[in-house]
């Protein structure tokens, strides 16, 4: 009963930020960014310069907009939790509780803190990321990904995206192969499935801590139950990832998409990929645990 929360708010969370621009910009742009970073860091210590660089990267990647979009998705999904676990019993109180849990200030702080920790000591890589994301193509990709995420909030658009991917997958093997290669290089399915499982476990832990289960649920049983959800989570993740990628990157040419894949395979791309998944895990694991606690209290009829 908890897996569905994760496969929307968490499993989709890391997708929107896996951005880069064409590999053709790499050498020149990275060098320019490193030079600019060196000039801007004059008079600063190494830690201050690194913090400023990551803060700039977060700004370039439009994290504020991403977090707000994820908050909208999460608050909307709180309604589905009510429908599954206590139909019609949540009311305004549940809506308010979910809204507090999805606190955008706390979400941004958790993301920034973990991303900074993950990228610590990787000044050259961060400079390369900044160069890519700050380029024309990088900004275009950011815009396309955000627009696709917003569009998929609409059920009819999501259904149309599913059909479009099915048509592409059966009728254009080359383009569909590029989409699949992008997902593979960025480990989108496996990493999202793992993040979903982690957040589901946190939901269970939140429920158990407040007596949300009939009787005691030991940790090993939680782990067993959560792992049993893996096949369903994997299917749902795959069913969302490919239509989303096809919708987002539809305006890109094959050459542009291939360049994006090439960048994703570079050391900078792989470092970024891992850092993003870790940062989103830092955001959504505590959210999931808090939702589990709140749901358990709601079921018990306590004041939440």
Is the predicted pLDDT of residue 78 greater than 50, yes or no?
A: yes
Name the DSSP letter for residue 243.
H
Is the predicted pLDDT of residue 16 greater than 50, yes or no?
A: no
pLDDT at residue 51, rounded to an integer: 81
pLDDT at residue 181, rounded to an integer: 97
Interatomic CA distance for residues 73 and 279, integer angstroms = 18
- Answer yes or no: are the C-beta atoms of 207 and 292 closer than 8 Å: yes
Please state, rounded to an integer, the average pLDDT across all residues of the chain: 83
Q: Kindly report the length of the chain.
A: 304
How many CB atoms within 10 Å of residue 86? Answer: 16
pLDDT tens digits, 203-235:
999 999 888 777 778 889 999 999 999 999 999
Is the predicted pLDDT of residue 53 greater than 80, yes or no?
A: yes
Interatomic CA distance for residues 287 and 280, integer angstroms = 11
Is the pTM higher than 0.75? The answer reads yes
Domain boundaries, the chain: 3-299
pLDDT tens digits, 97-112:
999 999 999 999 999 9
Number of H helices, E strands in the chain: 15, 0
Lowest mean pLDDT among 18-32, 133-147, 211-225: 18-32
pLDDT at residue 10, rounded to an integer: 38
């Amino acid at each position: 009963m908890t897996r569905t929360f994760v496969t929307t708010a968490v499993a989709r969370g890391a997708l929107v930020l896996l951005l880069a621009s064409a590999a053709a910009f790499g050498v020149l742009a990275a060098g320019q960014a490193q030079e600019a970073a060196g000039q801007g860091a004059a008079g600063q210590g190494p830690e201050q310069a690194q913090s400023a660089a990551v803060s700039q990267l977060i700004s370039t990647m439009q994290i504020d907009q991403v977090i707000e979009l994820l908050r909208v998705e999460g608050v909307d999904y709180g309604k589905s939790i009510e429908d599954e676990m206590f139909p019609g019993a949540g009311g305004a109180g549940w809506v308010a509780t979910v809204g507090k849990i999805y606190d955008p200030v706390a979400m941004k702080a958790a993301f920034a803190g973990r991303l900074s920790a993950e990228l610590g000591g990787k000044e050259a890589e961060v400079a390369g990321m900044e160069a890519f994301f700050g380029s024309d193509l990088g900004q275009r990709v950011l815009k396309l990904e955000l627009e696709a995420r917003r569009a998929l909030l609409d059920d009819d658009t999501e259904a149309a995206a599913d059909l479009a991917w099915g048509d592409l997958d059966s009728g254009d093997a080359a383009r569909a192969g590029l989409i699949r290669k992008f997902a593979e290089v960025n480990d989108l399915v496996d990493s999202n499935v793992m993040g979903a499982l982690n957040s589901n476990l946190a939901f269970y832990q939140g429920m158990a801590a407040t007596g949300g289960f009939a009787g005691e649920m030991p940790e090993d049983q939680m782990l067993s139950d959560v792992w049993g959800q893996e096949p369903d989570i994997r299917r749902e993740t795959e069913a969302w990832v490919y239509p989303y990628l096809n919708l987002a990157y539809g305006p890109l040419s094959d050459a542009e998409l291939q360049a994006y894949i090439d960048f994703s395979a570079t050391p900078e791309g792989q470092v970024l990929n891992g850092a993003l998944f870790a940062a989103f895990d830092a955001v959504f694991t505590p959210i999931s645990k808090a939702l589990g606690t709140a749901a358990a209290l709601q079921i018990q009829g306590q004041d939440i």
